[in-house]
Structure 1
Amino acid sequence: MRGHEHSDNDLSGTVHGFVVQAGSVHGGIHVSGGGAREDVPQPWQLPPSVRITDRTDELRALELHRCRAMEDGHPTLAAVSGLGGVGKTAVALAWLHTLRPHFPGGQLYADLGAQAPDGPADPGEVVGRFLRALGVPTGQVPPALGERVALYRSLTADRQLVVLLDDAATAAQVRPLLPAGRCVTAVTSRRRMPGLSLDGGHVIHLEPLSTEAAVELLDSTLADGRVAAQPEEARALVLLCAGLPLAVRIAGARLAARPRQGITAMVRALSEEHERLEALAIEGDHDVRAALDLSYQGLPPTAARLYRLLGLHPGREFGGPVAQALLGEDAAEALDALYDANLLVDVAEASGGERYRFHDLVRLHAAARAAQDESADERTAALLRIGRHYLANADRAEEIIEPRRALLERDFEPECVVEEDFGADGGQADAEGALDWLERELPNLMAVVRLARPMGAPELAWQLTDALWPLFPRRKLYREWREAHEEGLLAAEEAGDEEAACRMLTSGALGKLATGAPAEGLAMFERAAASFLERGDALGHARTLNYRGLAHQRLGRPDRAADLFARAADALPACGDLRAGALARFNLADVAFSQGRYEDAAVDAEAARLTLEAAGDAYNAARAAGLTGRACVHLGRLGRAESELSAALSALRSQAAGFEAARVLGGLAQLSERRGQPWQARQYYREALSLYSSVGRSGSAEADEARTRLGALEPPEPVAPDPEVPGPGPSGDAQGDADA
């Protein structure tokens, strides 16, 4: 358990549009420009395919639809529906895997979670993952769903790729995820989706296998001659499985593990399970559940217990370390037993590492067995182990990403931690690998946050939310940012922990600023300020002065913002936080610059730079230098302006800080204008506009100003000469602009 002195999030910067341009949030949030990166490998995310039988007609229909769509120049969309366990995903994968040679642009996969315990996946979250897989740097993924979808379709317009949207809940969930161009998309769902026909989709509905095909599947699962030796018994067995491939495979796996057992014994046992389920009046999916009960009864005790405990897992997927956290050293062998029994699906090829998931029917069965075979205390203890496992690893990730951030106390036992793999570079996990792990596990982490209070562990909610802080602004996960902090605040209040509540208020309010809700953010900052004041926490209260200044600045109240920044610049150093005080002074300089008080801006920005350099904060020091340089342009101190702006641009480019680099380029452009160099000014403005566009800020006030000034500098369109009037000859004195 790590204990830390409390420290709220430091944030400096000007708030624009729908995002906070952050100066430093305990380590900085840096973004870079350029659209999709060309050096990113193609995504190949489809899970491995499994053997299918008797689906020739369906595969032929899917391929015929694709060929017709290509002939018409349209994207291909196909929806495969059917009962749970009927093989929808298997058919879609069998088709899509054959297309790989013809679609070199890659393969995208998403489990849309119609049957998931934490509810269907959010389309905005999914399309964000797709954009990153296609090479869009994380800082350039737009915050709004509409903007994400527009970028996704732009990137896929000329790309040949296939997309599998598995277990969809509704057509509305699917539509934002449809690529453009001549891409191929397959959707699976238990529901028929006639609405997708309006989008050009071909809808097919899978029926259970014929008896002959189901027998063939059973024979291939066993591969030992028993089906040929007992054909009638094999037919009886697949009839009890109702032709559902999932049930046939589970029954076959049980038989395969018992090579000396005849099929007759399996038929008898499965018949008895059917009768038991009917007697208990369990509705639906009897055939799969009967096979699951038999398979469960045949598991080794450790595997059976892991099956039950994993049935309590609140998310859709899990890795081997989660199983180890639940069961200890026996987990690897137990996982192998569950996989061999066809009770787990290996999704490692799709998501990397050691990853598993249950078919939704299997998960429901495992949870039911846990409710029946584990006591309430044992179930709660298992959930706490899962939650603390995720908390411990989120804590590790946070320490890698933001090592300077002071953390609240975390409630887990280090000696019991099973470390997740964050990816290594030279044997050392890096910040990007830690961020990737947090984002990959975010559905599971959010599920724990939601579950913490109901299971009597409210501290898990706010501790895990606090550990997730580095992820939200860096990957622009605004919906989760808001939801986690709302739940974390309720949990902290329920636990009576004012320190934790203030952290939830301030971190959550920063999310409000980032999503264009400064009034709500201001109310949260003021509530935290009152709490700090009441508890005598001078440092916490001083930090809220800076935060409240940002909110007032966003609300169009620069004088009130400047007053708060000035108070913060005085109070924070007095409380021992020199760096935070310098950030407040930088914000004060920014307000002065926006009001045309360039001398004040230059003085405060330079003072901020000196302190930030001494504190080792190179990023914010470069921002301060850039602001000093821009102020010097207006003051006519052109030599110093060039020195400050050039140094700032070099530093900001090295840190991939796209927005701030664009602001400095705007300053260099104005410097060139003052020196009578319109060609150079145009070059700087064009580069600045390109950067603003690449970081999703083409509509910002800075971009608008650069666009206007560039337009004023553009040479006029040449006028066609009047054929009646002779133009200048070779010795004429007409002069052209070199950039015309």
Structure 2
Amino acid sequence: MPGTPDPGDTRGFRTAFLIFLAAVLVLIPLAVSRLLESRGLAGSLAVALLADVGVVLAARAYLDRRGKPAESEAVRPGGREYVVPRSLPPAPQVFVGREETVADLEARLREAGRVPLLVLHGAGGIGKTALALVIAHRLAGAHPDGQIYVQVGDFQTDGMSAEQIRHEIAGAYVYALKRPDDELPTATGGRIDFFHRRSAGRSLLILLDDVPADMDLAGLLPDRPGCTTIITSRRIPGGLPGAAVTYEPPPLAEDDSVKLLSTLLGADRVESDPADPDDLTAVAARRLADACGGQPLALRLAAAALSQRPHWDLRFAVEAILQRRPDPEQLDVSYMLLTAQERLALRSIGSIGKQAFTGWMLAAAASSPGEPVSEELADRLARAQFVERRGTRRDHASFYVEDEVLEYARRLAEREDGPQASSAREESVTRAREDRRGRDPALSVREQVYPLMRTGDLSAALATAQQALDLADEQGDGVAAGAACAALAEIFSELGDTLEAEEAAQRAIGTGHPGNTARALRCNGRIHRRLRELDKARAFLDEALGNAERAGDAGEQARVLFERAYVLSLQGDVTAARGDLDRADRLRTSGVIGAETMEPTALWYRGAVLYVEGRLGDSAEEFGRARASSRRLGQRLWEAWTEHVIAKVALATDRLDDAKEAAEAGLELFTAIRNRYGAAHCRYLLGQAHLVEGAVREAEIELWETAETFRACGDVWVERHARALARAAAAWARAEGHGPGAGAGEESVRELREEIARELGEAAEIFRASGDVWAEGLVARLLAAMTGPADG
């Protein structure tokens, strides 16, 4: 092709350049050498070194170019060998009583031979993991090729066999060390071979946490010099080389136990007042430490429970506990500090039969009124550190209980409730689990989630969709899980939670089901339309339409076409937008199940396209019909959004009272359904209305608050506009004499007016660039009024 350089010519040019570079780096030092020789400085060591450095640098540059990609290439997929893994969790912030042990074990590891191995073993709760993490972080700098952490106990929690656990450990190694273009070996043996090949010649630190006592680790440990392995386990596992350093952490000494309590609770609650000889707080602290048996877990749980009750006197708390439990177990102290409801919940957890649990499991075990109540109890146990909250989704969570706490809960249930009660709880959980297996999560999404959304009950829709996702995951139903994620994406986008929406959409797309993919892609299209990233929105919607057609879902095709029509109108393609609207209406009225429920949708989008075209009268008529339809069908969500756009049209046509009335009606609806994103849009319009009527202080407050809401929701496009108008309102307030500058001299007033003019000009430019003609005109009016006569 003309103008395209030949690859051979390019390589030749690079070679010639490198030769030239080498020559320069060699000849210049030699020339300097000749010059110095002429001045009697021949044989100078500096000159000889300079010449040698030139040769070395030239050679190094050439070899580096041949042996590795350029820096820009190194960051491309497939360009670098692997991203250096650094997966160690943070070291514990509070670490007491083991400092000398850490130094001793670190020294023993450094002397342990070619492939150091440390095994920390002992009872649960004694502090093995904390000790392992502290040592690992101290050794991390000596292992620059990566630090890999594997929580092996989680695999056992999931009910995996020993061989499955070996497979997962090897897989964790491979994922940490693979290049982007490597394929993951499927067989355990292939994964282990891959790990040993890839770890050869590298200095790695590996921490295997909570390894089952009967686990055979043969083949899963690095066997090359420079690598270090740390293992925690209840007992020393099999398959270890004979040179392993082993250590069983003992309980903390009494002084260290009290120090840990003091660090966690604060010295004022643990130490006696030196000025008060009758203050026995320190004695109570030692009794508490003794009751916890020097076990770090028991001490941390006791401190967590006491920290929830900051007004409790330590002496009375300890006295009350020991009166009820004269010979307590290590965890009894913290257990007795719980409320009666929390104690019942903890005992019930022992009947669930697994370390990971959700609200419905606890509800079945504890016979509580429902899942939300059980989640609240589990949250309270999490605050007391008996369990760990693992879920991150809003209004929903999963929980995890450490093995030693689970065993304690089982003993508690036997001791306090008897074997009959424990058996009844186990049967209740089994019945609930069987009942859930018979449910159809995809049906729940179709027949419950979307109707709840239309009626505006977004909280119930969110909870139902999340429960459907949990159920689909339990059943291993990937298609149903994708349907639940697509619904979650739509709910989150309605609520303005952009990141959560995109994450849920990505998981739905990952299932590969065309119907789920279409809904998720449509959701992404709407998100990017709101952000005014119109090309991205169009691409998502084009792909969504193809998936909806493959799924044979006429209703979803119509929804995609309505959204795409809006995007096309914003891009200025009015003809294509109208074509999509007509096609969507034909699909909607061609016998689609639930076609009537889409009527407000169709009217709203037609009104939106007319608004973008500038046909405000026609737009207002369509929005009025959409409002009547949504009210008739009880679709509060569409009714709220319709009130919002009716206010927008009224504002654009200078019908200020109508605009405020509709914006306030929308705000009331959005507030009732707890939709902060929609509420912020209505308040944004109210802020604009305040600007028009000259209530600049009210406008400024309203606009700044809405900008913060948009920022929290991730809608940077509207946030930028709200901030621009807020600055305009603030500038106008200052010009009116409500802010700094009032009563100033003539020169100060002139400077202030110039500054305000700049701020308003910048705001006007933002609106001009985005095509918001109305807002640009409003700022222009303010600017014209402000730049009039000084006494005007």
TM-score normalised according to structure 1 size: 0.43
Relative contact order (alpha carbons < 8 A, sep ≥ 6): 1 or 2 greater? 1
Instruction: Please identify the structure whose Cα radius of gyration is greater.
Output: 2
TM-score normalised according to structure 2 size: 0.40
